[in-house]
Amino acid sequence: MLLEFQRVRKEYALPGGKTLTALHTVDLAIRQGETVALTGRSGSGKSTLLHLAAGIDRPTSGSILLRGREVSSLSDRARTRERRNTVGLLYQFFHLLPHLSVMENVLLPAWIAGDPAPASRARAGELIERVGLAGRERQAVEQLSGGEMQRVALCRALMRKPLLLLADEPTGNLDDETGRAVMDLLFELVTDADAALLYVTHSDEVAARASRRLAIHSGRVEGS
């Protein structure tokens, strides 16, 4: 199993000694190569679940396993290293660095990890070509359209060949036609890499494309 949540609960401390329970005893398992859509209203716990899956946050109780290794108990540094090596992240608002070029944004994860430069540039160039942006490697990302920015963000997320891609509303900031094109690319590239995909969406149309669909309500996950 690639990703497992075992009775995961997440609480946040509030003023006055109160607590907010964001996730209630979640059990979840995702296999390599699987695509899973997660739907739910704002505030239902979707982003919390993604942050826990990525190792950005720790659960209050329960265990999170990635490739059979319990990452929820690792130090912050060890969780960061595991995330860097195994997980790719794709956001609704792209989170690109506007002062960097298309190529530089895609290469960023490889630079941070200290990967060999020649192989990294070759990998980045292949991805950029796959998403239809060949010839624009030196262009500043701030000059791109929203759909083009999301394509660059997708290349960056897949740069180091992650086994698990986590996407938070990847089409939420795009028009319908552009969103469908981005999802086409996302599924194509994830399938080619034999990676697992867990993505959050408000769209029934986008959710229907996954091999499995889960819903979250008030911190409780439903579905199979």
Q: How many CB atoms lie within 10 A of CB 140?
A: 16
Average pLDDT, consecutive stretches of 10 residues, N- to C-terminus, the chain (224 residues): 95 89 94 93 89 92 92 86 89 88 96 93 95 94 92 93 92 85 89 92 91 93 77
- The answer to whether position 174 is within a domain reads yes
Give the span between the Cα atoms of 171 and 189, in whole angstroms. Answer: 16
Which tokens in the block code for residue 180? 């469908």
- The answer to whether position 212 is within a domain reads yes
- The answer to whether position 202 is within a domain reads yes
- The answer to whether position 109 is within a domain reads no
Q: What is the pLDDT of residue 224?
A: 55
- The answer to whether position 151 is within a domain reads no
Q: What is the pLDDT of residue 216?
A: 93
- The answer to whether position 106 is within a domain reads no
- The answer to whether position 129 is within a domain reads no
Look at the chain and report how many structural domains it folds into.
1
Which tokens in the block code for residue 57? 């946050």
* Contact in structure between 160 and 113 (CB atoms under 8 Å): yes
Q: Helix, strand, coil proportions of the chain in percent (round to 5)?
A: 40, 30, 35
pTM, entire model: 0.91
User: Which residue in this structure is represented by tokens 């720790």?
Assistant: 58
20: CATH = 3.40.50.300
Give me the domain span that covers residue 47: 3-97+161-223
User: Which residue in this structure is represented by tokens 């028009």?
Assistant: 175
3-state secondary structure of 75: coil
Q: What is the pLDDT of residue 72?
A: 83
- The answer to whether position 142 is within a domain reads no
DSSP annotation of 98 reads T
